[in-house]
């Protein structure tokens, strides 16, 4: 049964990867939207991981974080490979490099902070959990600066290619 489930997951990942590859952006606006989708997917994955952390905080069974982390890592690795091989469209090099820097930052945060939660267990003290949370919080402080670089590169790219970026509304 486990092998069947593994096979199904691998097939689903391959199909998703192939359909994404078939829909490569060909215009500057499509590229902008594609990069925005990458960012949105990372944000959603981070929220999902954070929600799970909140759910398990009391019972300290951190093992359920592993599949969520692995899913994020796989997504990041696939996007890094894709963006490194991608041809620039409409002078997108600075924007693409900013996205690669963002992906590298997110990957670093996962490796240095997310993974440390998986080492905790029901015997971990509140102080150990707090220390791990503090480490995550400290690393996350730099995320805004990395995102600002992406946003600045995106605005330049949009201006260069004659479209505007809609301001995000606070939810």
Tokens 């995102």 belong to 147
Give domain status of residue 49, yes or no.
Answer: no
Of 59, 105, 101, 100, the closest CA to residue 80 belongs to 100
Tokens 């939660």 belong to 117
Cα(15)–Cα(53) distance, rounded to whole angstroms? 30
Give domain status of residue 95, yes or no.
Answer: yes
Give domain status of residue 132, yes or no.
Answer: yes
Cα(107)–Cα(34) distance, rounded to whole angstroms? 19
- The number of distinct structural domains making up the chain is 1
Phi/psi region, residue 170 (left: phi>0; alpha: psi -120 to 50; beta: rest), is beta
For 27-45, how does the pLDDT look when each residue is reduced to its tens digit (9 = 90+)? 999 999 999 999 999 999 9
Higher pLDDT, 68 or 15: 68
Does the pLDDT value for residue 21 go beyond 80? no
Give domain status of residue 70, yes or no.
Answer: yes
Of 157, 41, 21, 46, the closest CA to residue 96 belongs to 157
Give domain status of residue 52, yes or no.
Answer: no
Cα(123)–Cα(64) distance, rounded to whole angstroms? 16
Domain that holds residue 92: 61-162
Give domain status of residue 122, yes or no.
Answer: yes
Give domain status of residue 33, yes or no.
Answer: no
Does the pLDDT value for residue 88 go beyond 60? yes
Give domain status of residue 90, yes or no.
Answer: yes
Does the pLDDT value for residue 12 go beyond 60? no
């Amino acid at each position: 049964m486990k092998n069947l489930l593994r096979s199904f997951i691998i097939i689903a990942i391959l199909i998703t990867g192939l359909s994404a590859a078939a829909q490569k952006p060909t215009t500057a606006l499509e590229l902008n939207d594609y990069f925005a989708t990458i960012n949105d997917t990372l944000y959603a994955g981070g929220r999902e991981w954070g929600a799970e952390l909140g759910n398990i905080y009391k019972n300290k069974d951190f093992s359920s974080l592993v599949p969520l982390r692995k899913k994020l890592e796989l997504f990041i690795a696939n996007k890094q490979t894709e963006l490194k091989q991608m041809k620039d469209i409409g002078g997108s090099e600075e924007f693409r490099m900013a996205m690669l820097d963002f992906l590298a930052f997110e990957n670093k945060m996962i490796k240095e902070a997310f993974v440390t939660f998986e080492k905790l267990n029901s015997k971990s003290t509140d102080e150990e959990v707090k220390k791990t949370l503090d480490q995550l919080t400290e690393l996350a402080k730099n995320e805004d600066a990395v995102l600002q670089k992406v946003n600045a590169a995106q605005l330049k790219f949009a201006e260069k290619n004659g479209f505007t970026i809609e301001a995000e509304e606070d939810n």
